[in-house]
Amino acid sequence: MVGALYGAVESGLIYAIMALGVYISFRILDFPDLTVDGSFVTGGAVSSVMIVNGTNPFIATLAGAFAGLLAGVLTGLLHTKGNINPLLAGILMMIALYSVNLRLMGQPNIPMLNETTLFTTLSSWWQSMNLDGLLLIPFEWFGIADYAPRTFYVIVSMIVIVYLVKKLLDFFLRTEAGITLRATGDNQSMVRSFSTNTNLYIVAGMGLSNALVGLSGALVVQFNGFADVNLGVGMIIIGLASVIIGEVLFGKDKIVRMTLAVILGSIVYRAIYSLALRVEFLEASDMKLITALIVASALVIPNWLDKTNAKRQFKKSKKAALKQKGAVQHASAK
Amino acid sequence: MLQLNNIHKTFYPNTPDERRALNDVSQCLNPGDFVTIIGSNGAGKSTLLNMLAGTLYPDEGDVWIDGKNVTAMPEEKRAKFIGRVFQNPLMGTAPGMTIEENMMISLGRTKRRSIISGVTKKTRDRFREHLSTLEIGLEDRLNSKVGLLSGGERQALSLLMATFTEPKILLLDEHTAALDPSKESLIINLTKDLVEKHKLTTVMVTHQMEQAIELGNRLWMMDEGNVIFEADENKKKDLTVPDLLNEFEKVRGRRMANDRALLAK
Ligand SMILES: Nc1ncnc2c1ncn2[C@@H]1O[C@H](COP(=O)(O)OP(=O)(O)OP(=O)(O)O)[C@@H](O)[C@H]1O
Ligand SMILES: [Mg+2]
């Protein structure tokens, strides 16, 4: 149980980078981008092929991010230059990337169990510094050493990586270009009327978004120890679920808070996931349904609440009007 | 400063829906001119402004700004030297962004947008200084979301954003029409002040004849895609609303079909 929760934090952090990418497209650019299902795998495919061929895992990971960036730029171009609506542009890229990914991988599945990945490298660094022993001490103090994770290196290194990504993103989104990117999603015609090539910003934003998705994909395949061409199925919904959970539970207006909320949302999503797996009649394959339900209800319930509120208000004002009328009649009768 | 030569624009040509929006318009403005445009609904006023801004391109004719032929220049390039305020207060600002960030977007008109620096202390002070001239307290709310402002406040902000970087030309399309009368006079006064302060060449469309007479140094009356009456500085001085209505009847042989213009005294 406790072990499952550590696992949830670990994968929550890795998938958080993907969720941040989805946050950029969905929330900042207001661009429902389905490329994610494809570009996630592209990032994983590129890095796994490079790793199997002996490339340095750091470079292979960055290459995965770069591959995602290219995919996002293409989707952005399909939309801006090709005038294709965002959903369709994303679907087209997603389908096209499926073939591309298979070509890249040469087979549907690439095992990397005996390869030097980012995580094996980090692990050996970690072991050589014997930091686990150090981090175990507080657990021993409280007499809960049994509840400590086997090793801390994944959590610690992912916290560092996610923190860096978040900091860079926060920084960029508050620069002049970042402000313009956000405004483009908010009111595009206004931004254009201030002499901005908004198409450029959309393309760049989609590139950035999918670079994060690709990076996350590259990390996930190395974490799992294999790449699979079907790894990305439903990824966009997982990203969206993380964004929405984060917004609902931790969201605030400020950018710094929002990126944090998305990261936490991703961890909460993974926790829900691992808890759901413990429910007897649920199977791993049911998770997609549950995820879809989470997203659907998060989208529907607020509207629904608004409506019932509005109805209540309407009834109230009607009642008040009737009362007033009654009072007037009463007065005139006198 | 601004020159329009034989501009034609027809929407849906050669179809039953054909609409001739502009029919051979030729006009020119000198630097610092402030022209107000009145005319019936569908006269082509907005279309004319869209030609200047580059949101629409003419079928025939060309547009010159400051000695440059800009007919084929796309909107975002032209926007470097054109400021615009629209009728709808929601159009000129980004609701999800703060006042400061909105000001930053408008500042970007004049320079390349940096990917390294954000809003510095110096620019923030500059924004504050400009915002304080609006005298509605926005300078103390730099970090408020613009979506929380009232329509009048948003329009005042739009007007400031369109003008403080001193564009060559300012285009105003019924920018007070969506406001209630008290806010309307606020925005009209601000328009006067800002145009004077920055000496902007201004084109303003309005439905209020009195406003059109009171503001600016020139006036055009449009109907069916053309300017059918114009008044220069001298003529405009003694112009009255009945004069304008008479002029219209004289040229067109019918009364001006514009409920809003008539209702507005
Ligand atoms: N984008 C468009 N597509 C098709 N027809 C258009 C378009 N824009 C304007 N028109 C038509 O061109 C004519 C002129 O419209 P325009 O908007 O310029 O009028 P206007 O003088 O601004 O009117 P109003 O006072 O109602 O704002 C109208 O007949 C209108 O229906
Ligand atoms: Mg109009």
pLDDT band at residue B264 using 50, 70 and 90 as cut-offs:
very low
Tokens describing residue A35: 């490329």
Q: Please state at what angle helix A287-333 crosses helix A255-278, rounded to 10 degrees.
A: 120
Q: How far is the CA of B207 from the centre of ligand 2 (A)?
A: 9
- Report phi then psi at B47, rounded to 5: -60, -40
CATH architecture, range B2-263: 3-Layer(aba) Sandwich (3.40)
Ligand located closest to B50 CA: 1
B217 vs A135: which has the higher pLDDT: B217
Q: Position B144: which residue type?
A: S
Lowest-confidence segment of A62-76, A120-134, B1-15, B84-98 by average pLDDT: A120-134
pLDDT of residue B111: 83
Asked whether A286 and A232 are in contact (CB, 8 A), the reply is no
State the nearest Cα–Cα gap between A314 and chain B, in angstroms.
24
Which positions in chain B touch A197 (Cβ < 8 Å)?
76
Q: B149 in helix, strand or coil?
A: coil
Q: Residue B200 pLDDT more than 80?
A: yes
Cα–Cα distance, B214 to A214 (Å, whole number)? 61
Asked whether A57 and A215 are in contact (CB, 8 A), the reply is no
| A271-307 per-residue burial string, b: 16 or more CB within 10 A, e: under 16 | bbbbeeeeeeeeeeeebeeebeebbeebeeeeeeeee
State the nearest Cα–Cα gap between B36 and chain A, in angstroms.
21
Q: What is the ipTM of this complex?
A: 0.87
Kindly report, residue by residue over A225-256, the tens digit of the pLDDT. 999 999 999 999 999 999 999 998 898 888 99
> How is A43-110 classified by DSSP, letter by letter?
HHHHHHHHHHTT--HHHHHHHHHHHHHHHHHHHHHHHHTT---HHHHHHHHHHHHHHHHHHHHSSSEE
Residue of B101, B115, B119 lying closest to A177 (CB–CB): B115
- What mean pLDDT comes out for the span B137-158? 94
Cα–Cα distance, B195 to B199 (Å, whole number)? 5
Q: A141 in helix, strand or coil?
A: helix
Gyration radius from chain A CA atoms: 24
Which residue owns the Cα nearest ligand 1 atom 8?
A: B47
Cα–Cα distance, A315 to A318 (Å, whole number)? 5
Strands B218-223 and B34-39: parallel
A133 vs A154: which has the higher pLDDT: A154
Cα–Cα distance, B114 to B104 (Å, whole number)? 11
Q: A326 in helix, strand or coil?
A: helix
Which residue owns the Cα nearest ligand 1 atom 7?
A: B11
Cα–Cα distance, A25 to A262 (Å, whole number)? 13
pLDDT of residue A276: 82
Kindly report, residue by residue over B214-243, the tens digit of the pLDDT. 999 999 999 989 999 999 888 888 888 888
CB distance B97–A193 less than 8 Å? no
Chain A contact present for B161, CB below 8 A: yes
Q: B210 in helix, strand or coil?
A: helix
Residue of B78, B80, B108 lying closest to A176 (CB–CB): B108
Residue of B53, B77, B118 lying closest to A176 (CB–CB): B118
Candidates B74, B110, B161, B97; CA nearest to A185 is B97
Tokens describing residue A121: 């490298």
- Sign, Cα dihedral of B129, B130, B135, B136: negative
Strands B169-173 and B82-85: parallel
State the nearest Cα–Cα gap between A311 and chain B, in angstroms.
24
Residues 36-65 of B with CB under 8 A from A: 53
Distance of CA B252 to the CA centre of its chain: 26
Measured over all CA atoms, what is the biggest interatomic distance in chain A, rounded to whole angstroms?
Answer: 98
Strands B34-39 and B201-205: parallel
Asked whether A42 and A100 are in contact (CB, 8 A), the reply is yes
Q: Residue B265 pLDDT more than 60?
A: no
B77 vs A18: which has the higher pLDDT: A18
- Long-range own/partner contacts, residues A149-153 (CB < 8 A, 24 or more apart): A149/A3, A149/A6, A150/A3, A151/A123, A151/A126, A152/A126, A153/A119, A153/A122, A153/A123, A153/A126, A153/A127
Beta strands in chain B (DSSP E): 2-11, 19-29, 34-39, 60-65, 68-69, 82-85, 169-173, 201-205, 218-223, 226-231
A81 vs A134: which has the higher pLDDT: A81
Counts for chain A of helices (H) and strands (E), in that order: 13, 2
CB distance B116–A175 less than 8 Å? yes
Q: Which residues pair with A48 in a beta bridge?
A: none
Cα–Cα distance, A206 to A28 (Å, whole number)? 10
CB distance B96–A172 less than 8 Å? no
Q: A282 in helix, strand or coil?
A: coil
Tokens describing residue A40: 């996630």
Q: How far is the CA of B35 from the centre of ligand 1 (A)?
A: 20
Interface test with B, best of A187, A194, A202 (most B CBs within 10 A): A194
Q: Residue A323 pLDDT more than 60?
A: yes
What is the rounded average pLDDT for all residues in chain A? 90
pLDDT of residue A325: 64
Ligand 1 lined by B42 (C-beta under 6 Å): yes
* Residue A157 CB neighbours (<10 A): 20
pLDDT of residue A151: 79
Ligand 1 lined by B41 (C-beta under 6 Å): yes
Q: How far is the CA of B259 from the centre of ligand 2 (A)?
A: 14
CB distance B96–A195 less than 8 Å? no
Asked whether A17 and A192 are in contact (CB, 8 A), the reply is no
Cα–Cα distance, B237 to A135 (Å, whole number)? 85
Asked whether A112 and A227 are in contact (CB, 8 A), the reply is yes
pLDDT of residue A38: 97
Asked whether A193 and B170 are in contact (CB, 8 A), the reply is no
Chain B contact present for A178, CB below 8 A: yes
pLDDT of residue A301: 80
CB distance B108–A178 less than 8 Å? no
Q: Tell me the count of A-B CB pairs closer than 8 A.
A: 84
Kindly report, residue by residue over B153-184, the tens digit of the pLDDT. 999 999 999 999 999 999 999 999 988 888 89
Asked whether A158 and B40 are in contact (CB, 8 A), the reply is no
What residues does each domain of chain B span?
2-263
State the nearest Cα–Cα gap between A27 and chain B, in angstroms.
11
Beta strands in chain A (DSSP E): 109-111, 226-228
Chain B contact present for A197, CB below 8 A: yes
pLDDT of residue A162: 97
pLDDT of residue A12: 96
Residue of A nearest to B107 (CA): A194
* Residue A65 CB neighbours (<10 A): 24
Domains and CATH numbers, chain A: 2-278 (1.10.3470)
Cα–Cα distance, A32 to A26 (Å, whole number)? 5
pLDDT > 90 fraction of chain A, expressed in percent and rounded:
66
Q: How far is the CA of B205 from the centre of ligand 2 (A)?
A: 8
Kindly report, residue by residue over A59-108, the tens digit of the pLDDT. 999 999 999 999 999 999 999 999 999 999 999 999 999 999 999 999 99
Q: Residue B263 pLDDT more than 50?
A: no
Kindly report, residue by residue over A272-295, the tens digit of the pLDDT. 888 888 888 888 788 888 888 878
Q: How far is the CA of B264 from the centre of ligand 2 (A)?
A: 17
Q: Could you give the C-alpha distances from A298 to A37, A317, B235, in angstroms and in order?
A: 21, 29, 63
pLDDT of residue B199: 93
pLDDT > 90 fraction of chain B, expressed in percent and rounded:
71
Q: How far is the CA of B82 from the centre of ligand 1 (A)?
A: 21
Residue of B nearest to A29 (CA): B96
Strand order of the sheet with strand B19-29? Answer: B19-29, B2-11, B60-65, B68-69
A63 vs B109: which has the higher pLDDT: A63
- Sign, Cα dihedral of A18, A20, A21, A22: positive
